[in-house]
Every structure is written in structure tokens, then in C-alpha cells.
Structure 1
Amino acid sequence: MQRPATRPAEASEKAALPAPRPSAGDEPGGGHHAFELPRVTALLMHALPRFVEGVIAPVAVFYAALVLLGLNGALIAAVAWVYGGIIYRYVRGHPVSGMLLLAAVGVTVRAVLAAATHSAVVYFLQPTLGTLLVSISFLASVPLRRPLAKKLAKDMAPIPEAFLQHARVHQFFLRISLLWSMVLFANVLISLWMLFNESLGMYLWVRTGLVAGLGAIGVGVSVWGFKRCVRRVNGEPARA
């Protein structure tokens, strides 16, 4: 069976992404692959479709179905959207993005809790419990030596597999997975305290700002650390 031709959108996306920078280590018998970090705009264009699919779309589907079908219909629609996307990619042989997998974890928790109660507090508690599960997932990936941050990084940028297999790079993603576990756990603590001690209005506005600030710090540290890691790996002499 012949593989279908590359769609124009996919071709343009590949053309927009810079190729890895070759080095002496890329020659036969070389020791490692150098990697040139893509421009920020290229990273954003590569990650945006995955962010929309795994984060924005499930929320949009939920609220649209909530208006049209009520709470139960919204829950069914959100779950169907996320798991339908995973099944579609699996059947077509496409990789399932880390964001979509995390969205599946979150939407499952929210659906189960919302089906059990219609309490406003429990409704707003659901995303926080989903965040807690994601935090645990990041933490559990560290001792398993399968850092979840590496999976997400592959969704965000076209990083060569040979570069990802470098020991220093793998160690970096282990540390970043631990960092994001702590960032998300802090998110959970802030959200729980405000949910049970402040009004819902205060919770929605202030908590959103605090969580966004924590996320921005985590992203900044991750990007800075990755650039530093790239420079170190690219600066290593190629082994004969």
C-alpha cells in the first residue's frame, strides 16, 4: 500500500522548521549529534497545533456542549473529543502528543467527579485534582528513567532522536521533570487553599494570575536550562 502524499500544511510546517546542524560527530563513526535550537517562532508554530488540540479544544468542546446539552452532555463530549483524537492518531499510525495524553488524564478525572456531584466547589476542584495527577506523573517518570518532560519536548520541537539519547540531555530532562512536578504541586496547593478559603470570584481571578506566574517561571527555567544543555553537548568533542 502506498503512503498518502504529504499534505500542503504538513509540507509547509516541515519547511518552516530548521534542520539539525551537522557536525563532525554526525559523520560515520562520530561520537554525538550536534543540535541547533530552533528559533522561538518556529517552536511556537510547531507546538501551537498540539496545544490547541490537547488544551484549548477540549475546553471549547466542553463549554459548547454545556450550553447546548447540559452538564452530562458536556462531559460526554469532552471525553469523546480527547479519546477520539487518541484513537484516530493510533489508527492512522500518527504519534500521540504528550499534551493530548495529559488532557486525557485530566478529562477522565473531571468526568468521574462531575458525574458523582453537581457541587460548585467540586466542579472547580476537578482541574486541581487533574493537575495533581499530572504532577505525580512527572514525579513518577523520574525514578523510572523515562522523563515525561522529554516526551513533551518532542511535541514542542523537532529534536533529533540521536540528540535526545545523549546522557547529558537525558539527565537534563530528568531534572526538568522533577522541576515541573514541584511547579504543578505548588499550583495544587495554591488552588486548594484559595478554593476553600476565598470566594469563587477571588479563586478564579487571583488563582489564575498566581498559577500563570508559576508556569512562566517554570517555562523560563526550562528554556534557559535547555539552551545551556544544548551548548554543552554541541561543545563536546566528537569521539572517533
Structure 2
Amino acid sequence: MHHPTLTSDRHLVIEIPHLRATASRAVVLALETAVVPTVLFMLLLNFTSLVPAAAGVLGWSAFVIGLRRMLRRDVPHTLLLASGMLVSSAVFALITSSAAVYVLQPVVGSLLMFLLFVGSAVIGRPITARLARDFIHLPAELFAHRTVRRVFVNVALMWGGSRLIDAAMTYGFLQWSLDAGLLSRGVLSGLFTALTIAVCAGHGWRRLRGLPDVTLRMARPPEPA
């Protein structure tokens, strides 16, 4: 993460993390939290039964977090949140003895996220303003700009809409078959989320770079070890 620096009394220069490094982290997180556990659940469910499939997801989540701890690597809040959802979905699937619950619970989660993002935008306190600070250090005075506040409101509305579409997409695929629902949740949802991130980032970059007293620039790529 890079700290914004003042180049004059009021002018701000904000460094955005390099795209390549950010994309690499996003791909790893997608594999850890969506693709691998979904494929693992699908294979074990088809070749064994629900109990080994749910246990496989639980074991995978513990393995990923444990390995990061052992290697003294950061455990992102995104990974903890996604792992928590995986574990709760697997536990509910075991309790109800229904594999469909494993897919339906994230659908409910997406609907709740829709309400959270849109609700925060409606009341003028977009949650995206807080989430942005998890990735970039932003000075408090930056939020005094009406344009900046509007950007975060728009991004919150975009995210809310994308979560609603994601929930509808997964539920629609689940009507075809359980495997189709798993495919939608594990692969298509990740791709759709990546597209949403790109759209929101592009919108924010385009609007903020037009501010006369704020300069956005990309950080230098990390040097190879």
C-alpha cells in the first residue's frame, strides 16, 4: 500500500498499487476462495457423498489459512471473510443434509450485500469509502470533495447491482442442476466480480483524475526477487 503525499498545501498525489501485483493477488485469492473449493466440492460430491465433499471444503479452508500462517504471509481480510462463508456453507449443508444449501447460502449472502451497498449509498454513507482504505491510504481531506463522495456512492450502487445480478445468475443456474449452480458460483461469479472491479476502478480513476488538486499515478511494479 502506498501513502498519499502532499506536494503543496492542498494538492494531493495518490499512488495506486501496481496493476500487475494487484491482479496477481486477486487471481490467487480467487483460486483459494472460489475455484479450488468449488471444484473440490463438485468432484467429491459426484464421486463420494455430501459428507466428504463438505469436509473437503472445511479442510481446504483450514489448509489455506494455516499455510499462510506457517509461511508468515499476510492473511487478507477478504480471505478470512470468504473462508468464513465457505465454512458456514459447508456446515449448513451438513446440518441440512442438502448440497443445494451450499450454493443457496452464498446467494442469500449476495442479496444481503446488495442491501448493504445500496442502503449505504442511499443514506449518503457509502461503505465503499471504508473498503477503499483497505487497499489505498486516503487522506481524510480527500472526502471533502463532492466529486469524491459521488464516486463512492456510484461505486456502491454498482457493487450493489452486481451482487443482485450475481445472486440471480447463481439461482438461475441452480434451477438447471446442482453442478450448474456450483459452476456459476465457483467460476462465473468470480469472473463477474472481476469485471465489476474493473468497471468500478475505471469509473473512479476517470472521475478522480479530473480533480484539479488531486493527482493519481500508478506505483512502480515490484522488483523481481
TM-score bucket of the superposed structures, by smaller chain: 0.5 to 0.7
> Which one of the candidate residues 159, 162, 165 is aligned to 1:180?
159
| Displacement of 1:134 | 3.5
Q: Give 2:104's aligned residue.
A: 125
SS at match of 1:36: strand
SS at match of 1:162: coil
2:37–2:60 Cα contact (<8 Å) kept? yes
Q: Give unpaired runs (5+ residues) of structure 1.
A: 1-16
Q: Give 2:221's aligned residue.
A: none
> Which one of the candidate residues 209, 214, 221 is aligned to 1:231?
209
- The within-5 A match list for 1:58-207 is 59=38, 71-72=50-51, 75=54, 78-79=57-58, 82=61, 97-142=76-121, 143=123, 145=125, 147-148=127-128, 150-151=130-131, 154-155=134-135, 159=136, 161-163=137-139, 166-167=142-143, 168=145, 169-196=148-175, 198-200=176-178, 203=181
Kindly provide the CA deviation profile for residues 30-76 of structure 1, in whole angstroms up to 9, marking residues without a partner as x: 23531133442132245455545544565577679879996446545
Query: CA, structure 1 residues 75+183, in 2 after alignment: closer, same or farther (shift >3 Å)?
Result: same
Code of the residue aligned with 1:162 in structure 2: it is: L
- Give 1 or 2: higher strand fraction: 2
1:82–1:100 Cα contact (<8 Å) kept? no
Query: CA, structure 1 residues 134+95, in 2 after alignment: closer, same or farther (shift >3 Å)?
Result: farther
Give the paired residue count.
Answer: 211
1:24 and 2:1 are equivalent in the alignment: no
SS at match of 1:166: helix
Q: Distance between the aligned counterparts of 1:46 and 1:87, measured in 2? A: 18
Q: Distance between the aligned counterparts of 2:45 and 2:168, measured in 1? A: 28
| Displacement of 1:103 | 0.7
Q: TM-score, normalised by structure 1?
A: 0.59
Q: Which moved more, 1:122-131 or 1:204-213?
A: 204-213
Q: TM-score, normalised by structure 2?
A: 0.62
Query: CA, structure 1 residues 54+192, in 2 after alignment: closer, same or farther (shift >3 Å)?
Result: closer
Code of the residue aligned with 1:154 in structure 2: it is: D
Q: Distance between the aligned counterparts of 1:208 and 1:62, measured in 2? A: 10
2:93–2:99 Cα contact (<8 Å) kept? no
Query: CA, structure 1 residues 165+104, in 2 after alignment: closer, same or farther (shift >3 Å)?
Result: farther
Q: Distance between the aligned counterparts of 2:178 and 2:42, measured in 1? A: 18
1:98–1:152 Cα contact (<8 Å) kept? no
Q: Distance between the aligned counterparts of 1:96 and 1:53, measured in 2? A: 12
| Displacement of 1:88 | 11
1:54–1:99 Cα contact (<8 Å) kept? no
SS at match of 2:97: coil
Kindly provide the CA deviation profile for residues 100-119 of structure 1, in whole angstroms up to 9, marking residues without a partner as x: 24314522541343023333
- The within-5 A match list for 1:45-56 is 45-55=24-34
SS at match of 1:221: helix
Q: Distance between the aligned counterparts of 2:55 and 2:184, measured in 1? A: 30
Code of the residue aligned with 1:226 in structure 2: it is: G
Q: Distance between the aligned counterparts of 1:68 and 1:206, measured in 2? A: 20
| Displacement of 1:137 | 4.0
